Amino acid sequence: MKEVLDFESFNAQIVFANESQEEETFHQNELVQLFPYGLSVTTDAARPFLLFKDEGHQYTLPVAVSAIDAGVALSQSNRMILESSPHKFTGVLLSSLGIEIKQAVFVEIKGAHQYLRLYISGHPQTNSVKLRADEAMSLCLYLQVPLFATKSFIGRSRVMNAETEGAAQKLQNFGLMDKGSGYLN
């Protein structure tokens, strides 16, 4: 029998251990590839967060997103409904212009916001763009852009990580993390 989920126990606040003062520099071999793992549902509906884990489930990176972006990411991952996304036009436009987002790397923390750099090819004037992660996550997921972070960046997110590990376990106990639930790939 599955545990009844007490949504009051998800009183998570978005706090990072250490704020970055500037954008992190890295070498490609220092990056950990991250994959979508789940969506945290908290009592603070204004700031849910997506959970990303590396392939070996050794590292967890929580990414705060807006309620709208969380809903888009969740609906895009549900294979039980007809494929639909507000990002379809953006994907078609980028493709028709020959622009491809090659990878996204988490590079900075400012206050309660994480930033990532999107590395692109095919644009005549730029090869990367830095955006707040909450403004780009559902697009990255829709376009299946590989996501990366350094171990250092993941470590600086450890205060939030500790809070989300408990939430992830409760989600798994509730059945929302099951591959057959329609909520995850």
Calpha distance 22→35 (Å, rounded)? 25
Is 185 within a domain? no
Comparison of pLDDT for 141 and 87, the residue scoring more: 141
Tally of domains within the chain: 1
Question: What is the domain range of residue 155?
Answer: 7-178
Instruction: Write out pLDDT tens, residues 26-71.
Output: 778 889 999 988 887 665 555 788 889 999 999 999 888 877 777 7
Which stretches does DSSP call E strand in 41-112? 49-53, 60-64, 100-110
Is 56 within a domain? yes
Calpha distance 53→30 (Å, rounded)? 16
Is 82 within a domain? yes
Give the least confident one: 4-8, 40-44, 121-125: 4-8
* Cβ proximity of 44 and 12 under 8 Å: yes
Is 134 within a domain? yes
Is 124 within a domain? yes
The stretches of 78-150 forming alpha helices (DSSP H) are: 88-96, 137-142
Instruction: Say if residue 182's pLDDT is above 50.
Output: no
Is 76 within a domain? yes
Is 183 within a domain? no
Cα dihedral 50, 55, 58, 61, rounded to 10, equals -20
Q: pLDDT at position 44, please?
A: 56
- What is the maximum alpha-carbon separation in the chain? 57
Is 184 within a domain? no
Strands, sheet with 60-64, edge to edge from the N-terminal-most edge strand: 60-64, 49-53, 31-40, 147-150, 100-110, 113-121, 128-132
Instruction: Say if residue 148's pLDDT is above 90.
Output: yes
* Cβ proximity of 128 and 177 under 8 Å: no
Query: CATH number, domain at 106?
Result: 3.10.690.10
Instruction: Say if residue 1's pLDDT is above 50.
Output: no
